[in-house]
């Protein structure tokens, strides 16, 4: 498939494609760089430096707070109960099992509480939070879908790419599991289908807005992994 500037042209060239295919193709090369990153490969192989993992998790935990708020907006903006229910279920999982994983990992990696409770945000983290907050406050269900899809579909992609590889350390193995379990895959599949359902019939200007947001998110996702390898960033 060939990436194009608008969905209609893309669909004419790829009649069997879906709206989410256009989003992914438009986000290259950031999509591939983020979903096949050095970080995720080292994570799967169990060779990820603990300090790098700690630096990443501290920033990601800061991301989660705004992400949870965005899920709340998704519940509010979803047009009916069948759309609200998957978001509500995923929101419950993030605020329970995933939150517990973070707290146990910080303890195992000896991250001081002051660092994960009040972290110094990296520039890329601040930009990600800004995108989440802007999408949430936009009042736009399509924009919220595009933002969430970029974050969750990319993580499912690298999670599944890990295959059966699981390091001995739980703070690496469980991070893979959280993004490769069937429950998460079902949610992301539904989210992808819902984004395509909404995006396919959206006005061209809304489609373009969704595409710009998705692409910007993927650019930031790659940079977010890159940041973990920057020693000057601190823990």
The mean pLDDT of 202-212, rounded to a whole number, is 97
Residues in the chain: 235
Q: Does pLDDT of 88 surpass 90? A: yes
Q: Is the peptide bond before 157 cis (omega within 30 degrees of 0)?
A: no
Q: Are 206 and 181 in contact (CB under 8 A)?
A: no
Please state, as a whole number, how many other Cβ atoms lie within 10 Å of the Cβ of residue 158: 22
The mean pLDDT of 198-224, rounded to a whole number, is 97
Q: Are 109 and 171 in contact (CB under 8 A)?
A: yes
pLDDT in tens, 106-129: 999 999 999 999 999 999 999 999
CA distance 140 to 134: 10
Q: Which pLDDT does position 1 carry in this prediction?
A: 40
The closest alpha carbon to 206, from 153, 133, 132, 139, belongs to: 139
pLDDT above 90 covers a percentage of the chain that reads: 95
pLDDT in tens, 116-169: 999 999 999 999 999 999 999 999 999 999 999 999 999 999 999 999 999 999
Question: Cβ contacts of residue 16 below 8 Å, gap of 6+?
Answer: none
Helix axes 123-137, 204-227, angle to 10 degrees: 150
Q: Does pLDDT of 71 surpass 80? A: yes
Token readout for 17 is 């494609």
Q: 10: burial class by Cβ within 10 Å (0-12, 13-18, 19+)?
A: buried
CA distance 223 to 171: 22
Q: Which pLDDT does position 232 carry in this prediction?
A: 58
Q: How confident is the model at residue 2 (pLDDT cuts 50, 70, 90)?
A: very low
Question: Cβ contacts of residue 148 below 8 Å, gap of 6+?
Answer: 70, 71, 74, 191
pLDDT in tens, 15-42: 999 999 999 999 999 999 999 999 999 9
Longest CA–CA separation in the chain, Å: 54
Q: Does pLDDT of 234 surpass 70? A: no
Q: Is 2 in a helix, a strand, or coil?
A: coil
Structural domains in the chain, CATH included, are 29-230 (1.20.910.10)
């Amino acid at each position: 498939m060939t990436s194009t500037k608008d969905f209609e042209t893309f669909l004419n060239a790829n009649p069997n494609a879906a709206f989410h295919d256009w989003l992914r193709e438009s986000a290259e090369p950031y999509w591939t760089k983020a979903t096949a990153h050095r970080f995720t490969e080292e994570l799967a192989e169990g060779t990820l430096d603990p300090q790098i993992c700690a630096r990443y998790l501290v920033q990601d935990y800061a991301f989660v707070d705004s992400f949870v708020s965005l899920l709340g907006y998704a519940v509010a903006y979803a047009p009916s109960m069948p759309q609200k229910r998957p978001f509500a279920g995923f929101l419950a999982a993030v605020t329970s099992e995933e939150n517990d994983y973070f707290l146990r990992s910080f303890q195992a990696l000896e991250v001081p509480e002051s660092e994960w409770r009040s972290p110094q945000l990296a520039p890329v983290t601040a930009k990600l939070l800004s995108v989440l907050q802007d999408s949430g406050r936009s009042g736009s269900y399509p924009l919220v879908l595009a933002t969430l899809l970029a974050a969750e579909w990319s993580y499912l992609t690298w999670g599944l790419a890990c295959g059966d590889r699981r390091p001995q350390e739980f703070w690496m193995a469980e991070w893979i599991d959280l993004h490769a379990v069937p429950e998460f895959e079902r949610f992301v599949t539904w989210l992808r289908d819902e984004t395509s359902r909404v995006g396919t019939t959206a006005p061209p200007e809304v489609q373009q807005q969704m595409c710009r947001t998705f692409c910007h998110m993927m650019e930031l996702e790659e940079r977010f992994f890159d940041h973990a390898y920057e020693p000057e960033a601190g823990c």
